[in-house]
Structure 1
Amino acid sequence: MSDNDIRVGVGFPLGQLARALTTAGTHEDPATRQRAERRVRRWQQVVDGMAAGTLDIGSRTPVRDLPVWVTPEVIHGGFATGTPAAGGALRPDETDRARRLGLPAERRVLFWSWLTDAGLVELGELLDSGRYRVEYAEEAALPVVAWLLRAGERDAAVNLLEEIAPYADRLRFTPGPNDQPAVDPDVVYRQTAGEVRRLLEQRQPNAQIETMREALTVWNPFADELLTRWCETVVDGRVDAVTPDDWLPRAAQLLARYRHLAAAHPRCGRHRHRKGSIGVLRTALERRVAGAQLTPRERGLVQSVVEAMLRKRGRPGSPEHTALREQQAREAALPRHHQLAQLVAARLAALPQDVGIHDVDHVLRPVDADESHLAGVVAGWPAPAPVARVVARATAATLEQLIARGVIASAEELARLTPRLAAATAASAYPDPALRILMDATYRAFRARRSLLLLNLEHQVRLAELPWVRAVVSARIDTSDTRDQARRTLARLGSAAVTGFPATVLPNPLVKELSTLSTQASLPLPWVEELAADIFMGTFSAKFLQAATLAGRRLAGSLYARYYDIDYPAIAAIDDTRRRLIRRARTSNTFDELCRDRAGASRRRSWFQVAANGTIIEQAQILTTHNLATIVELGIDLPAIDLAKQCLDTVLRLTARLHHNPRPLGTVKNTAYAWRQMVFFLSLSTGEEQTAFLSHAAQRLAAQPDHVRTRLAPAVIGLGHIVGGGTFDQDGRAGTGRRLLGWTTRAHWMLDPSLEVG
């Protein structure tokens, strides 16, 4: 059985099911248990479907009896559950429609109600208003039917209906309502105002803070009362030397109040410690109230505690003691984060809930006088940083502004937001405004669908495969303006990714958008995805060789080519031969062999196959530069040395994480990827700049802890050797210098056990 068979077999889903069951049954947090229960149901669906043969994991059509265009429900690892995402219970607006029309609340009945004269008029009004939300691409199908009929394309509308009608009882083909019309596509946001509002409303009091407040407001004053009672018994510095007439009744009242306080304030447990100040004084007081006398040992303990408390804080009522308690009271009265979170959530409730926030500063303004009365917090108090960070996720601005503000903090977050820009670009080819808005929404919904686990070089479903998108393809008018817009968007996204996150490999969703934009711009550029080592089939599609050839046109003989020992002219010759002999080939066996040879990997499968796959994939990334050369091909002017320095900072930070790291392999891989990007940017600079960069790298390295210097010094020495005109031997060595790679089937030199000392 191969590794791919293991991945798509029932073992992986069963393992996920077992973990979800454990969490659902044992986790202390109710919300976490509830989420785990949902995962249990979904993984059980996967296991049952695979056992029954209704699921074909690894296929483009994983669910039997559902066509390729249906959006499947997909969970971790790319597994389809068998449930269509656009199915399930009726939405509230659908239930309301059924009630309004006096129809049964059934999906098929509602489907046909939209195709009556009144229903088509309603769809037309919806199209013109733009006030709808397409969550799944299927929800655009009936609006397309309405548009086709309005445009006189009756045959196309009938053909589309014939294709989707068989699924009318299982799928939703109309969008949900949205109070907000279409907005500027240049403005994006990570979350909506409604989403961050709900997060803030869920904020609970911080247990540690509440425990501290309880200590300051309840137990410190109680300790003062205990101390005061015992001070009343002092004569000539001796505790329990005298018992005033009303002392015992007042002591009994104090103990009764203690029992009430202990029941009402359970957070702080210090008062329960018998050897603590409160514990000693309270226990002794209980003995006296019960009629017993203190033993010499007990009296000595009380004496010691009383003296220590007086020495530390002064006598209760004294100026120094009063000042301390007043300061503690002020600290306890400070507004807590959950109170301020509720206040900010109330502000957000007044804003449109389905879009981002344009004026975040106004939402985060200090507490107003009226709000202080409602929320019980001090007027003028600012929003705390944890609350501000949550609200910032809904900031509505351009990509560049969000990156600069740190709202978009990773390439993955950038990739998640790019479909909005790409959708507007793709939809610009539709002259009709109503159809343009609908196709924009369809594109964004389609891009939000989760990728399937696919084998045998199968590709994910493409937008053009959706029947309602095909039905309006003739309405597109590709002009020089639309191609220019696609080129501008392509360059903008490529620049934002590289300059914003120079040390990060482009995420696959972003690669997909760049590839689509290239097609729209009539730029046949080869964009390559990051491949998963655990399902790698041992071969690369033809575009990998094309990407390597493109990289060679810029990098042949460069620092990058010399560092990684790449013969780019030979790769160009391979590509030329492939083009002449096998123009229609989907794969390049010669490129496969080249990557395998460079990785030193054999064809024989073994227990470390995933690691062996990783070494091969890494070589493909090296040869192609994993899209960096393709981005440079767009004519973007990159600040190469600045980007190289940022990559070095990332390398140093990741290397520091290797120390005493129980699972270091992923960190080594990411370190090597950041290093590779650094070498690429250095290759775009002059020899003088490269030499100056080496001095900078040496200074930065010298300022690091010993374990970082020792781990990374071989890589820096190796880079300096290549910059100086040297070469590595076949093992990637040059004296004490080493070529830094991320994957290996042996122990990695950065993980030498001797480096873990200290």
Structure 2
Amino acid sequence: MNRNEEPEGLRPVAPDPGYAAGQLASALRTAATHEDAATRRRARERSERWQRVLAGMADGSVTVGSRAPVAGLPAWTTPEVVRGGFATGAAAAALPAGADGRADFAGRLTDAGLDALIARLDAGDYVLALPEDAALLTVAWLVRAGDRAGALELLDEIGPFADRLRFVPEGGAAEADEGADPEAVHRSTAGEARGALAARRRNPRIDTLHEALAVWNPFTDEVLAHWLAEDRGTPEWRRGGARLLARYRALAGEHTLCRKHRRPGENLHTLLDCLRPAADGRALTPRQQGLLRHALESMTRKRGAPGTERHAALRARQAADAARPAHHALAQVAVRRLALLPEDAGVPDIDPLLGPVTAGEAAQTGVPAGSELPEPVRRIVARALSAPVRELIARGLVPSAEVLAELVPQLVASATALAYPDPALRALMAAHHRAFHNRRGLLLLNLEHQVREHELPWVRAVSGHRDADGAAREGARQALVHLAELALDGFAGTILPNPLVSELGALARAAGVALPLTEELAADIFMGTFTAKFASAARIAAELLDGTAYARYYGLDPAAAIADLDGRGFGRVCHERAGVKPGGWGSVAENGSVVEQGQILTTHNLAALVAVLDVRPAAGWGELARRACAVAAEKAGQTIGNRRPLRVAKDAGYAWRQAVFFLALAEEEDRRGFAGWLSERTEPGARLLAERALPALRDAVEGAAVFPAYRLHGWSTGNHLLLNRG
């Protein structure tokens, strides 16, 4: 990206109170001015959280950039986090005001209390909203398993916070369906889909249109036909005009959405304005006569006179449109259908939920039988479909790698929990993994990493009860390979998002696989250094890609050149390749260029997945190269005429790098045919890529090295290859 224009929406370079103040001001403005009451309420709540952020930064009770940001609370506590990774100073599991946490904590540890916890464990009668909810259930399991030392050690660690934090789940849950497909996942539960549909409001614009079609168009036709009648001017005609004026007054009082008829200059307004004196037998002024003549001529010329074939066909189509039920009414039909299903689970078969309105539903709701659910309603219902990820992707219900990352924990939880032989503990740890996934990431500095699941005290306490036998490890490995292949097949032009990298890492640990997966580093808070795993990933990439088009295109160092690098040495190499002087914070563009060199050298996880796991996507490497290039072309096209093109230019460069990697692994026929395939595409972005980026790639495919200035990158501290229009 160009150093002179940094992208919008990035987090602050340092923990700057001004950023928090700006977010507070925005929330207060929305709370004071937004027309929707629910939006104002949410904005007020958001402003209160930002006020806590600022107060905590001011008095030192919040340390932004630390993995333990709240004074007096350990790192394993789930903090309340707002946009940008800022902690508010509150704990997500904080007890409500007035609660006697210590008394409740002590009561849970009595014989009766432990028996109750064990009963909940065995019945699966719990939902973990936060990781802390698993703590006392874990204590109960340890006591039953005879590991009193482990239970006491865990209590020693969490006990000091019993007066502040909740360590047991609220409420309960119905038992899971034992017949459910273990590979099935869903984007939303039936209850969530029902809530989203129930919240849909009437659309005033649609209601206004319906009123115009059903009320004012027919009335306008009557007034027009009256003026076109052959007996115009007779006593009977004048009496008919008076009746029309009376009807107009009644309609205008009852139907108030459409206001077009009230505006001077509109045809109906002109017809009525002239009808008032004419109905009283008074002559029209010359001006009124001219306006009337113009209105009659324009109306009949545009639609034909009432009763003609052209006019009748138009009004029939409009009447059919007006007769269609509004989307919010059809949404309520879907709400009634979803209400019959368990609200805390997905829906294995959504087809019955998407059918036309039945006669029985019509009688109950007033929506005409046979009405089809509109696409916006169908999309919300479809999000509750519970099916294997591959099917959801095929149906278009997983539109991005980020959405895939949201679904993965449902699968990873089951795979990683297989290492626990005891069924109750296995279910608890699976539920815990899903809850841990909901923990929001913190803004971190100084190479600190987010708290990991195995660091939580209750997870450590049962680590000795894992039995990671061959079957459990192989199950985790199979899940790891399957998810990696799904991500590459489904989203070839997108780098693996950090949440998905985290979940793949959890599977790798469960499988006992040494897999150096690297996260995308934020350019706005990058401090110029990398951890050692980046160097490990770069060595794998260099060995895999030695002598390939990728190595020639990006000037990849041979494995021997980076064999002894640690994180610091790897950072120096990235700075040199980016042409950025090491030391301290640079501009966002300079930081981004350094970070991108790290991605180039490591291939941002692609090489590790292929070399370590032998990932082989079903579509084949050549097809993935074309898919990734299509994404790059789409993004490149979005730079044309764009006043803020840098973000999409970055995305284009990243997608292009994916394409180059896939092409390097493709069959010879695919590599040789790629240039012709891209050159034949006609969309503007493809033509731009063919002109600016393809020549260098063609050289690399044919065995030549590529000069750095001709490589397409995402970031740039000078002229970006896609944005240089000269």
Give yes or no for contact 2:128–2:134 (8 Å, CA) kept in 1: yes
Residue 62 of structure 1 aligns to a residue in which SS? coil
Which amino acid in the other structure matches residue 396 of structure 1? S
- In the alignment, which residue of structure 2 is the partner of 1:525? 515
- In the alignment, which residue of structure 2 is the partner of 1:747? 719
Question: TM-score under structure 2 normalisation?
Answer: 0.93
Which amino acid in the other structure matches residue 545 of structure 1? A
Aligned-pair CA distance for 1:78: 0.8
2:202 is equivalent to residue 223 of structure 1: no
Give the 3 Å change call, closer, same or farther, for CA 715–414 of structure 1 in structure 2.
Answer: same
Which amino acid in the other structure matches residue 609 of structure 2? I
2:651 is equivalent to residue 670 of structure 1: yes
State the alpha-carbon separation in 2 of the partners of residues 520 and 391 from structure 1: 34
Given the alignment, which residue of 122, 133, 137 partners 1:139? 133
State the alpha-carbon separation in 1 of the partners of residues 577 and 499 from structure 2: 28
Alignment of 1:243-642 (within 5 A): 244-245=234-235, 247-248=237-238, 250-288=240-278, 292-313=282-303, 315-316=305-306, 321=311, 324-575=314-565, 588-603=567-582, 609-633=587-611, 634-638=613-617, 639-642=620-623
Aligned-pair CA distance for 1:507: 0.6
Aligned-pair CA distance for 1:6: 4.9
Cα RMSD of the aligned pairs, angstroms, is 2.3
Give yes or no for contact 1:712–1:750 (8 Å, CA) kept in 2: no
Which amino acid in the other structure matches residue 173 of structure 2? N
Which of 661-670 and 469-478 deviates more? 469-478
Give the 3 Å change call, closer, same or farther, for CA 220–52 of structure 1 in structure 2.
Answer: same
Which amino acid in the other structure matches residue 7 of structure 1? A
Aligned-pair CA distance for 1:473: 1.7
Give yes or no for contact 1:673–1:742 (8 Å, CA) kept in 2: yes
Give yes or no for contact 2:208–2:257 (8 Å, CA) kept in 1: yes
2:34 is equivalent to residue 18 of structure 1: no
Give yes or no for contact 1:284–1:302 (8 Å, CA) kept in 2: yes
* Identical columns (%): 48
Give yes or no for contact 1:201–1:345 (8 Å, CA) kept in 2: yes
Residue 185 of structure 2 aligns to a residue in which SS? coil
Residue 133 of structure 1 aligns to a residue in which SS? coil
2:155 is equivalent to residue 177 of structure 1: no
State the alpha-carbon separation in 1 of the partners of residues 276 and 719 from structure 2: 66
- In the alignment, which residue of structure 1 is the partner of 2:115? 121
State the alpha-carbon separation in 1 of the partners of residues 260 and 653 from structure 2: 50
Aligned-pair CA distance for 1:184: 4.6
Which of 268-277 and 190-199 deviates more? 268-277
Residue 364 of structure 2 aligns to a residue in which SS? helix
- In the alignment, which residue of structure 2 is the partner of 1:724? 702
- In the alignment, which residue of structure 1 is the partner of 2:193? 196
State the alpha-carbon separation in 2 of the partners of residues 604 and 438 from structure 1: 46
State the alpha-carbon separation in 2 of the partners of residues 223 and 35 from structure 1: 44
- In the alignment, which residue of structure 2 is the partner of 1:97? none
Give yes or no for contact 2:13–2:525 (8 Å, CA) kept in 1: no
State the alpha-carbon separation in 2 of the partners of residues 671 and 370 from structure 1: 52
State the alpha-carbon separation in 1 of the partners of residues 12 and 192 from structure 2: 40
Which amino acid in the other structure matches residue 16 of structure 2? G
Give yes or no for contact 1:185–1:420 (8 Å, CA) kept in 2: no
Question: TM-score under structure 1 normalisation?
Answer: 0.89
Give the 3 Å change call, closer, same or farther, for CA 689–307 of structure 1 in structure 2.
Answer: closer
Which amino acid in the other structure matches residue 68 of structure 2? T
State the alpha-carbon separation in 2 of the partners of residues 305 and 145 from structure 1: 83
Aligned-pair CA distance for 1:290: 6.9
State the alpha-carbon separation in 2 of the partners of residues 5 and 329 from structure 1: 55
Give the 3 Å change call, closer, same or farther, for CA 291–404 of structure 1 in structure 2.
Answer: same
Give the 3 Å change call, closer, same or farther, for CA 672–546 of structure 1 in structure 2.
Answer: same
State the alpha-carbon separation in 2 of the partners of residues 292 and 274 from structure 1: 21
Residue 515 of structure 1 aligns to a residue in which SS? helix
State the alpha-carbon separation in 1 of the partners of residues 384 and 608 from structure 2: 32
2:184 is equivalent to residue 187 of structure 1: yes
State the alpha-carbon separation in 2 of the partners of residues 545 and 167 from structure 1: 40
2:40 is equivalent to residue 57 of structure 1: no
Give the 3 Å change call, closer, same or farther, for CA 307–704 of structure 1 in structure 2.
Answer: closer
Given the alignment, which residue of 29, 54, 59 partners 2:36? 29
Give the 3 Å change call, closer, same or farther, for CA 6–722 of structure 1 in structure 2.
Answer: closer
Residue 132 of structure 1 aligns to a residue in which SS? coil
Deviation by residue 1:260-280 (Cα, 9 ceiling, x = unmatched)? 322332322321222121011
Deviation by residue 1:386-443 (Cα, 9 ceiling, x = unmatched)? 1111111111011111111111111111111111222112211111111110111111
Deviation by residue 1:677-711 (Cα, 9 ceiling, x = unmatched)? 100011112433311111111112xx223x75246
Residue 74 of structure 1 aligns to a residue in which SS? strand
Given the alignment, which residue of 693, 696, 718 partners 2:677? 696
State the alpha-carbon separation in 2 of the partners of residues 277 and 511 from structure 1: 63
State the alpha-carbon separation in 1 of the partners of residues 660 and 304 from structure 2: 65
2:79 is equivalent to residue 72 of structure 1: yes
Give yes or no for contact 2:241–2:275 (8 Å, CA) kept in 1: yes
- In the alignment, which residue of structure 2 is the partner of 1:579? none
Give the 3 Å change call, closer, same or farther, for CA 455–290 of structure 1 in structure 2.
Answer: farther
Give yes or no for contact 1:423–1:441 (8 Å, CA) kept in 2: yes
Give yes or no for contact 2:624–2:659 (8 Å, CA) kept in 1: yes
Aligned-pair CA distance for 1:712: 4.4
State the alpha-carbon separation in 1 of the partners of residues 387 and 583 from structure 2: 52
- In the alignment, which residue of structure 2 is the partner of 1:100? none
Give yes or no for contact 2:653–2:712 (8 Å, CA) kept in 1: yes
Give yes or no for contact 1:131–1:181 (8 Å, CA) kept in 2: no
Give yes or no for contact 1:655–1:712 (8 Å, CA) kept in 2: no
- In the alignment, which residue of structure 2 is the partner of 1:644? 625
State the alpha-carbon separation in 2 of the partners of residues 202 and 623 from structure 1: 48
Give the 3 Å change call, closer, same or farther, for CA 4–31 of structure 1 in structure 2.
Answer: closer
Give the 3 Å change call, closer, same or farther, for CA 167–185 of structure 1 in structure 2.
Answer: farther
Give yes or no for contact 1:563–1:727 (8 Å, CA) kept in 2: yes
Highest RCO, 1 vs 2 (Cα 8 Å, sep ≥ 6): 2
5+ unaligned residues in a row in structure 1: which ranges? 91-103, 576-586, 733-737
State the alpha-carbon separation in 1 of the partners of residues 434 and 327 from structure 2: 35
Give yes or no for contact 2:679–2:687 (8 Å, CA) kept in 1: no
Give yes or no for contact 2:66–2:444 (8 Å, CA) kept in 1: yes
Which amino acid in the other structure matches residue 214 of structure 2? T
How many positions carry a matched residue from both structures?
Answer: 711
